[in-house]
Amino acid sequence: MAWQWFHRLGSPKWFYEKTEKWLPWLGLIALLLLVTGSIWGLGFGPSEAKQGNSARIIYIHVPAAILSMAGYYVMAIAGAIGLIWRMKLSFMVMKAAAPIGAILTFLALFTGAVWGKPTWGAWWVWDGRITSMVVLFLLYLGIVALQEAYQNQDTADKISSVLALVGMVNIPIIYKSVDWWYTLHQPATLKLTQKSSIDPSMAYPLIMMILAFYLFYAWVLLRRTRMEILRREQRTSWVQDLVARG
Amino acid sequence: MNLVFQFSDLHSFLWMNGHGPYVWGCYAMTFLGLAFLALEPRLQRKRFIRQQKALAQRKPAARGER
């Protein structure tokens, strides 16, 4: 049946067992790429003509920012699937995604502020992109808080999914902010459809780091989701067997 | 592309013409954040299993299929 995979995917137990063997590989490859990409960017990539060595921050700033937005889509879409098809597992993914997104958004803001000091001369400027990233950070925190605020898990899931969906309007705003309010942030330099305006010697380590962050994100998201499965299914016999085994 | 180490010695690598503190500070904070994300699920899992085991020991009769 074509729909069978969808129902299976909705089974927390099936998901828990299936993801088990991917995890070590995902974590290992993510770590290798992170280390290689960082060494490449820090030591072997060129220093930028105008910004000098501070431009080496790009290799963590941009991936963190990309994943903070991609992670928001993951969270909001998981919430939507939960609302529409009443899929419990989907709500668990949404809950698991929120703190990861908050930390990645914080890292994007932090590295951006530190990068701003030597290049723009200021730690913080309320330009369009920074402001919309702060909104993103607050949305993530709001969802984390909502999940904690309700005794009833079902209510918490539904309300935080609605907030996640409403907050999705912010993502295109972040994305287009550099074109709409052209102040300090430069427009995108790495493009899929046109020729990129970034030199390959910087683009390669950057692409490697973006890939590393994606894999790392998937690794952490899977593990957090699995933890949430254990918590919510703690009364079932399969989780109790798993606990008994250690 | 030829990959050449961009700095003449360790000191210039760390100092990066004055940008070192900014660059290294960013990398340190990022890896701290990533390490937290990487380690937290493991700690939570350990805590969960410990709690569940304690719970099972306290009321063995209440355990079982539901």
Find the helix packing angle between A23-39 and A58-85, rounded to 10°.
Answer: 150
Q: What residues in B contact A67, CB-CB < 8 Å?
A: none
Q: What residues in B contact A202, CB-CB < 8 Å?
A: none
Pairs of residues, one from chain A and one from chain B, whose beta carbons lie less than 8 Å apart: 106
**Both structure tokens of B6:** 């961009």
Beta strands in A70-226 (DSSP E): none
Contact flag A52-B16 (C-beta cutoff 8 Å):
yes
Q: In this predicted complex, what is the ipTM? A: 0.90
Question: Tens-of-pLDDT digits for all 246 residues of chain A?
Answer: 566 666 666 789 999 999 999 999 999 999 999 999 999 999 998 888 788 899 999 999 999 999 999 999 999 999 999 999 989 999 999 999 999 999 999 999 999 999 999 988 889 988 889 999 999 999 999 999 999 999 999 999 999 999 999 999 999 999 888 888 877 788 777 776 677 778 888 899 999 999 999 999 999 999 999 999 999 999 999 999 999 987
B2 lies in some domain: no
Residue of chain B whose alpha carbon sits nearest to that of A27: B38
Contact flag B63-A231 (C-beta cutoff 8 Å):
no
Q: Which residues, at least 6 apart from B38, have a Cβ–Cβ distance to it below 8 Å? A: A27, A216, A219, A220
The count of domains in chain B is 1
What are the pLDDT digits (tens) for B16-64?
A: 988 999 999 999 999 999 999 999 999 999 999 999 999 888 866 555 5
B39 lies in some domain: yes
Most A-contacting residue of B6, B17, B23 (CB-CB within 10 A), to test interface: B23
B16 lies in some domain: yes
Most A-contacting residue of B2, B7, B30, B66 (CB-CB within 10 A), to test interface: B30
Q: What residues in A contact B52, CB-CB < 8 Å?
A: 234, 239-240, 243
CB-nearest to A43 from B7, B18, B56 is B7
Q: What residues in A contact B1, CB-CB < 8 Å?
A: 200-201, 204
B5 lies in some domain: no
Q: How far apart are CA A69 and CA A170, in angstroms?
A: 9
A206 close to A58: Cβ distance less than 8 angstroms? yes
What are the pLDDT digits (tens) for A162-214?
A: 999 999 999 999 988 888 887 778 877 777 667 777 888 889 999 999 999 99
Q: How far apart are CA B39 and CA B45, in angstroms?
A: 10
The pTM score is: 0.92
What is the domain range of residue B25?
A: 10-65
B58 lies in some domain: yes
Q: How far apart are CA B57 and CA A232, in angstroms?
A: 20
